[in-house]
A and B are shown apart, each in its own frame.
Chain A
C-alpha cells in the first residue's frame, strides 16, 4: 500500500498518509503540510495522487496553495520543487484550454497556463521541464513554430529529454513531416522504453501517414496490447481495416469501430466512421443519430466537418437538397483550407448546381479543382456549369480536359460531343464516336440518342452510307426493316388513285393482315424520321415516303412527317397532293407556321396570289418573333407582286418593291446573317438599278452559302451573273463584260442544276446574243429547247438568233461562199421556226402575237431573197474564181510543159554543145564563132516569151458584186435595224419576265431530338 510520510517539524516523527485514503477535503492535508512545513515534493506527490484519483478540485487546491506567495517566500531556496508545482499547474491549464470548446474560456485557460510557466521561468530560466511545458502549451494553442523552438531549447541541453522529444515529434507531425516525426518517436522509445502506449500511437499514425500500413497496424496493435481500451488505437485499426476495401476487412473494421464506440461512446472519429458505414448501407436514420452525437462531443474542426459532411451526404442522397446544402455549408465552415477536406466542397457544388445557384456552385467546384486539378468529375461538373452560364468556350475547355485526363470516360465524350455540335461538327462526331466505342468496349448499352446524334452528324457531313448504318443500328429490329429492305411485297395501287400515293396507309393494313406487327416505339420516331430524311437526301424517295407514312400510321399527330411528305410531293410537282398533306398537318395544328408557309408557297405556285398573301400573314402571326421566315416570305411575295405583271404599273411596282425592301431589312436587323434576306435585299436593289449595292450583297451571300450540304444556294449565283450582265449592258462594254456573267451562268448550271435548267440556258444565250456570238447563242437555245420542248419562247428566240446571224453575215464586207450558203440555210431554218410558231399560235399554244411572228417571217423571207442574190453573186464569183483558178492552173501547166520542153531543149543543146565543143577543138575558129552567135540568139528569144498572170481580170467582177450588195442593203437598212432592236428587246423581256430564279427557297431544318 502506497503511502507518504510527512515529517513532523522539530521531531523524528512522521505523519503517515496512505495515498489511497486521502481525505475528501484537501484542506485537511493542506493544513498538515503547512503546519509541518513539509518539503514541497510531498505537496506535489499528494496533488498528483488527487489528480490520478480524478479529484481535480483537490489537486488544484493543493497546487495553488503550493504556489502562493507565502510559500515562495518560505521555500525561497527550494527552486526545483517550486518550478515543478508551477509547471504542473501550467500543464493543467494547458490541458483545460486544449479541451475547452468555448473560445473565451479556452483563452482564459491558456492565459493562466502562460502565467504559471512564466512564473516558473522567472525562478529558473533554464529549467527544461518549463520549456517542455511551454512547448506543449504552444502546441495546444496551435503555434507550431514557437513550440518547436521551445522543444529545441530543451533538446539542445539534453538530447534525450523524452518529453521534449515527444513534443518535437508532435510538432513534426503537425507540420506533415511524418518521417522526421517517426524518427523522434522512435528515439523517445529507445530512451524510455517503458513510455505509455500513446508514443506507439504516434509511431502508428506516422507510419499510417507514410503509407506503411502494415507497420502502422503493428504499432496500433502493440498499443492495444498495452492498453486494450485505447480508443484511438482501435479507431485507427478500424480505419485501416476499412481502407482495405474488402468485405471481411470492412466487417472487422466496423467491429473495431463498434468496440471503440462501446468503450468510449463519445469518440467523434469512431462516430463519424460508423456514420459513414451506415451511409453506405443506406441506414440514414443511424447516420443522423451518430453524426449528431459526434457533433455534440467534439470541437475538433476537421472531425466536425466530417460529421457535417456525413449528415449533408445523407440528406443529399435522400434528395433533400436544401438541408444537404446547409450541412455542406456547415462542414465547409469548419475547414480552413480546402486541401484538408475537399469532399464537402464537391457536395456543396453539386447541390448548388441542382438548385440552380451556378455562381456559388462554380466557386466550390473550382476549389475542388485546386486540390485535384485532374479530377474528371469536377472538370465535367465545371463544364456543365459553364454550359448553363452560356460560356460554351470555357465549358469546352473543361470537358476536353476531362476527356484527356480520363480517356475512358464515355460520359465526358458524350458531353463534349453535345457541346461541339453547334460549333465544330467534325470534332463532335469524333467525340460521339469515341463515347460509342467506349460504351461498346465496356459492354454497356449504347443509348439510341447517341446513335441518333452520330447519324445526324454523319448525315450532315454527307456520309450517307455511314449515317444510314448508324440509324438502322439505332432502330434495331422492327417493321421498318421489312419496309427498308423491300422484302415486303408491294401492293399495286390504282394508277388513277396514285395521286394518293403519299397518303396511302393501305400497305400497313395489309402488312398487319399478313401477320406483321406494325409497331413504332415512341423513342424511335425521331430516328425513323431522320432516316426518312436521309433517304430523301440520297434520293431514295420511295423509302423515305414509306417511313414517313409509317410514322403517321402510328402517330397521326406527327406534323413534321406530313410536311416532309408534302415537300416530297411538291418536289415531284404534285401540287394537289402536297396541299392535301399540308391540310392534314393543319388539322393537327392549325397554327403550325411551317405548314402555313409551305401552303403559301404552293398557293404562289398555283398563282393564287391573294390566298398566298393571307397564308403568309397567318404564318407570320403564328410564328414567334425569332422565326423570320414568314417575314421573308411576305417580302418575297411583295417582290413577285411588283414584277409579276407584264403590263407594268410603275406606281404599284414601286410600292411593292418598297414594302419588300422594308421586310427584308427587318429580317436582316433581327438576323444579320440571314442569306435569304440579304439575297432579297440584293434583288430589290438590282430591280431599282442600284447594281453596285446588289452586287456586294450577292457576293456576300455567295460566300456565306458555300458551306454545308443544306446551304446550297444556286439562285445567288444567277443573281450575281444577272447583275454583272446588267452592269455590262452598255454598248461598248458588252463584248468584254459578257464573258464574266457567261462564266457565272455556266458554273451555276453545272454546279447546281445538272444542266437541266432551261431558264439558265436562256440567260446564257442572252449573253451570247449581246456578244454577237450568234452560233453559240443558237446552240445554247437549241439545248434549252431540247430541255423544255414546250417552251415556245425559246423557239422564237432561236429564230431571232438565226435571223440576226444571217443579217450580220450579209452585212460583212468580205464573206466566203460557204458563209453565204450557211446564211441561206440558217434563214430557211429561221423561217421554218417562225412559221411553226405561227402555225402553233393558231392552236393557241402560246401567247405570241401572230402579227409579230408574221413580220419576222416576212423579214426572214426578205433576207432570204436578198441572200439568194448574194448567194448567186457569190456562186458566180466562185465560178469565176474556179475559172480563174482553172485558167491559172492551165497556164501553169502550159508553162510547166514549156519549161520541161525548154529543159529538154537545153539539155539537148548542152549535149550538142559538148559535142560541138569536141568538134570545136578539132574545127576551125570561124566555125566556132558562128555557132556561138546562134546559141545566144535562141536563148534570148525564149526569155522574152515568159507569160504574165492576168491580174487585171479579177477587178471587174469584184467591183460589180460589191455595188450590187451595197445598193440592196442601203435600201433596207432602216427597217432591218428597227426589227433587230425589237427582236432584241423581246429576248430581253423573256429574260426579265421570269424572275423565278430569283426565288428564295426554304431550307428544311432537321429535327434534332435531345
Chain B
C-alpha cells in the first residue's frame, strides 16, 4: 500500500482549512471534495484536478466541520457560531439551518443510510441527532455524568464532546470527549452503552473500520491512535509515531489501512496488519486538520484517493493504491 501525491493547491482557501470530506458521486457527476475554512467559506473541488467547483458563503466565524449525505445530493457545514447549514450540493440552496442552543456544534456525520445527522454537542456533553427528512431534532444522546457526591465545575466540562462516528451498520454511535474518553451508544434504543478508556487527552477524530463494525479507531492529542474493539471494550492496539496531536483519522475503503493527520504537519499511512506507519508525507507546512479517503463508487472511479487539508491554507490529493 502506498500514497503518491497527485496534486496540491496552495491558498485553496483564504485562511486555514479546518474540515474536509468527500461528497459521494451521484448519477450526474463524480465525487467532490468538500472543505471548510476559517475564512468562513465552504468550497467544492473536482477530482483529480482539484478545480474549485463552487464557493459557498453564508457562515460566520470559522467553518469547523463538514459532512456529506451518503446520497451525495446534500451536505452540511457547521461553524464556530454553532449554526449548521444544510445545503443542496449542486445548487447551494439552503435546505435547513439547524441549531440546538446551548449545545455547540463540532464534528458531524450522516448515518450510513442517510436518515440521521449526528452532531457532536461540545459542552452539552451530548450528541444531537437530526432527522434528515424533516430536519427535526429527534434525540439527544447524553453522556452520563460521572457519579460522585458533588460534580464540581472543574470536572463538568471534561465530557465536552468533540467527535462522532457511526458504525458501518448504523447501529452504534461513538463520540470522543475532551478528557479522552470515548462513549458508545446504542442508537436504536438511544442508550449509552459504555466508555472506552485509554486516552487522557482530547479525542478529535473517530472512525469505524469499514470491514468490522466492532473496530473503532480514535485519534487523540496524546499523539496516539487507538484501535478498540468497541463492543468488547478492549484496546486492541495503540499506534504511536506522531510527534504531536493526532487531529484526524480515516479508514481506507478497503479496510487495510488508516491515514492520520497531525499537528506535526505530517500525514501518515498505517498498515493495520503490520501495525506500523508505512509512509509519512510532508506536503503541508502547518498542522493537518483533516484527512479523508474518497468513498468508492461513481462512474469509472475505482482508484483510491486521499485528501488532506491544513492550516497552511492548502489542500493535497494523493493516489492510494
Residues of A in contact with B (beta carbons under 8 Å apart)? 486, 490, 492-496, 498-499, 501, 539-543, 571-575, 754-756, 779, 782-783, 785-786, 789-790, 792, 825, 828-829, 832-833, 835-836, 839-840, 842-847
Inter-chain contact B153/A846, CB cutoff 8 Å: yes
Question: A residues within 8 A CB of B238?
Answer: 501, 541-542
Inter-chain contact B223/A541, CB cutoff 8 Å: yes
Inter-chain contact B244/A786, CB cutoff 8 Å: no
Inter-chain contact A756/B81, CB cutoff 8 Å: no
A539 to B60 Cα, complex, angstroms: 38
23 sampled A-B residue pairs with Cβ under 8 A: A494-B233, A494-B235, A495-B195, A495-B197, A495-B234, A539-B240, A542-B224, A543-B240, A755-B311, A756-B245, A756-B263, A782-B62, A783-B16, A786-B18, A786-B80, A790-B122, A828-B60, A829-B60, A835-B101, A840-B123, A845-B123, A845-B156, A847-B153
Question: B residues within 8 A CB of A828?
Answer: 60
Closest 8 CB pairs of A and B: A839-B102, A541-B240, A573-B200, A572-B222, A790-B160, A498-B198, A754-B263, A754-B244
Chain B residue nearest to A539 in the complex (CB): B243
Decide if B70 is an interface residue (CB 8 Å cutoff). no
Shortest A556–chain B CB gap in Å is 23
Chain B residue nearest to A543 in the complex (CB): B240
Question: Quick one: which of B213-265 are within 8 Å of A by CB?
Answer: 221-224, 228-229, 232-245, 263-265
Return the contact of A754 from the options B158, B229, B232, B245 (Cβ within 8 A). Answer: B245
Decide if B72 is an interface residue (CB 8 Å cutoff). no
Inter-chain contact A495/B201, CB cutoff 8 Å: no
Residues of B in contact with A (beta carbons under 8 Å apart)? 15-16, 18, 38, 60-62, 64, 80-82, 101-102, 104, 106, 122-124, 153, 156-158, 160, 162, 178, 180, 194-201, 221-224, 228-229, 232-245, 263-265, 274-276, 286-287, 311
Question: A residues within 8 A CB of B235?
Answer: 492-495, 498, 501
- If A490-B275, A539-B242 touch, whether A786 touches B64 (CB-CB below 8 Å) is yes
A253 to B234 Cα, complex, angstroms: 83
Inter-chain contact A542/B239, CB cutoff 8 Å: yes
Question: A residues within 8 A CB of B311?
Answer: 755
Chain B residue nearest to A832 in the complex (CB): B81
- If A782-B38, A829-B81, A839-B102 touch, whether A789 touches B153 (CB-CB below 8 Å) is no
- If A494-B234, A754-B264 touch, whether A789 touches B104 (CB-CB below 8 Å) is yes
A368 to B238 Cα, complex, angstroms: 63
Shortest B252–chain A CB gap in Å is 20
A782 to B40 Cα, complex, angstroms: 11
Question: A residues within 8 A CB of B180?
Answer: 573
Return the contact of B222 from the options A490, A573, A847 (Cβ within 8 A). Answer: A573
Inter-chain contact B102/A754, CB cutoff 8 Å: no
Chain B residue nearest to A569 in the complex (CB): B200
- If A754-B264, A754-B265 touch, whether A829 touches B104 (CB-CB below 8 Å) is no
Question: B residues within 8 A CB of A789?
Answer: 104, 106, 122, 160, 162, 178
Question: A residues within 8 A CB of B81?
Answer: 829, 832-833
Shortest B136–chain A CB gap in Å is 21
A825 to B229 Cα, complex, angstroms: 46
Inter-chain contact B16/A842, CB cutoff 8 Å: no
Inter-chain contact A495/B157, CB cutoff 8 Å: no
A494 to B195 Cα, complex, angstroms: 11
Question: B residues within 8 A CB of A754?
Answer: 243-245, 263-265, 287
Known: A486-B276, A498-B234, A825-B60. 5 other contacts (CB 8 A): A496-B197, A496-B233, A786-B62, A843-B102, A843-B124
- If A495-B233, A496-B195, A782-B38 touch, whether A572 touches B200 (CB-CB below 8 Å) is yes
Question: A residues within 8 A CB of B157?
Answer: 790, 792, 845-846
Question: A residues within 8 A CB of B286?
Answer: 755
A490 to B227 Cα, complex, angstroms: 12
Question: B residues within 8 A CB of A493?
Answer: 234-235
Inter-chain contact B240/A843, CB cutoff 8 Å: no
A574 to B226 Cα, complex, angstroms: 15
Shortest B15–chain A CB gap in Å is 7
Question: B residues within 8 A CB of A786?
Answer: 18, 38, 62, 64, 80
Inter-chain contact A572/B263, CB cutoff 8 Å: no
Inter-chain contact A495/B196, CB cutoff 8 Å: yes
Q: Is the interface of B mostly helix, strand, loop or mixed?
A: loop
B160, B229, B234, most chain A CB atoms within 10 A: B234
Inter-chain contact A843/B156, CB cutoff 8 Å: yes
A756 to B156 Cα, complex, angstroms: 23
Shortest B124–chain A CB gap in Å is 7
Inter-chain contact B198/A501, CB cutoff 8 Å: yes
Inter-chain contact B162/A490, CB cutoff 8 Å: no
Inter-chain contact B263/A755, CB cutoff 8 Å: yes
Inter-chain contact B178/A790, CB cutoff 8 Å: yes
Question: A residues within 8 A CB of B234?
Answer: 492-495, 498
- If A501-B235, A571-B222, A790-B160 touch, whether A755 touches B287 (CB-CB below 8 Å) is yes
A495 to B197 Cα, complex, angstroms: 5
Inter-chain contact A779/B15, CB cutoff 8 Å: yes
Inter-chain contact A836/B244, CB cutoff 8 Å: no
Shortest B195–chain A CB gap in Å is 7
A462 to B6 Cα, complex, angstroms: 31
Shortest B262–chain A CB gap in Å is 8
Inter-chain contact B236/A785, CB cutoff 8 Å: no
A608 to B7 Cα, complex, angstroms: 52
Shortest B144–chain A CB gap in Å is 15
Question: B residues within 8 A CB of A490?
Answer: 236-237, 275
Inter-chain contact A495/B198, CB cutoff 8 Å: yes
A274 to B195 Cα, complex, angstroms: 88
A541, A575, A779, A790, most chain B CB atoms within 10 A: A790
Shortest A758–chain B CB gap in Å is 11
Shortest B191–chain A CB gap in Å is 18
- If A754-B245, A842-B102 touch, whether A575 touches B200 (CB-CB below 8 Å) is yes
A199 to B148 Cα, complex, angstroms: 114
Question: B residues within 8 A CB of A572?
Answer: 199-201, 222-224
- If A492-B236, A836-B104, A845-B157 touch, whether A499 touches B223 (CB-CB below 8 Å) is no
Inter-chain contact A836/B82, CB cutoff 8 Å: yes
Shortest A567–chain B CB gap in Å is 13
A847 to B156 Cα, complex, angstroms: 12
A844 to B81 Cα, complex, angstroms: 20
Question: B residues within 8 A CB of A833?
Answer: 81
Shortest B151–chain A CB gap in Å is 9
Inter-chain contact A499/B197, CB cutoff 8 Å: yes
Question: A residues within 8 A CB of B156?
Answer: 843-845
Question: B residues within 8 A CB of A501?
Answer: 198, 235, 238
Question: B residues within 8 A CB of A839?
Answer: 101-102
A838 to B104 Cα, complex, angstroms: 13
Return the contact of B38 from the options A486, A494, A783, A825 (Cβ within 8 A). Answer: A783
A496 to B157 Cα, complex, angstroms: 21
A845 to B145 Cα, complex, angstroms: 13
Question: A residues within 8 A CB of B16?
Answer: 783
A832 to B178 Cα, complex, angstroms: 23
Question: B residues within 8 A CB of A495?
Answer: 195-198, 228-229, 233-235
Question: A residues within 8 A CB of B287?
Answer: 754-756
Shortest A573–chain B CB gap in Å is 4
Inter-chain contact B223/A840, CB cutoff 8 Å: no
Shortest B287–chain A CB gap in Å is 6
A846 to B229 Cα, complex, angstroms: 34
Inter-chain contact A782/B243, CB cutoff 8 Å: no
B101, B157, B232, B237, most chain A CB atoms within 10 A: B157
Question: A residues within 8 A CB of B237?
Answer: 490, 492
Shortest B121–chain A CB gap in Å is 11
Chain B residue nearest to A490 in the complex (CB): B237
Chain B residue nearest to A537 in the complex (CB): B243
Question: B residues within 8 A CB of A494?
Answer: 233-235
Shortest B100–chain A CB gap in Å is 11
A496, A572, A573, A574, most chain B CB atoms within 10 A: A572
Return the contact of A486 from the options B18, B194, B263, B274 (Cβ within 8 A). Answer: B274
A495 to B198 Cα, complex, angstroms: 7
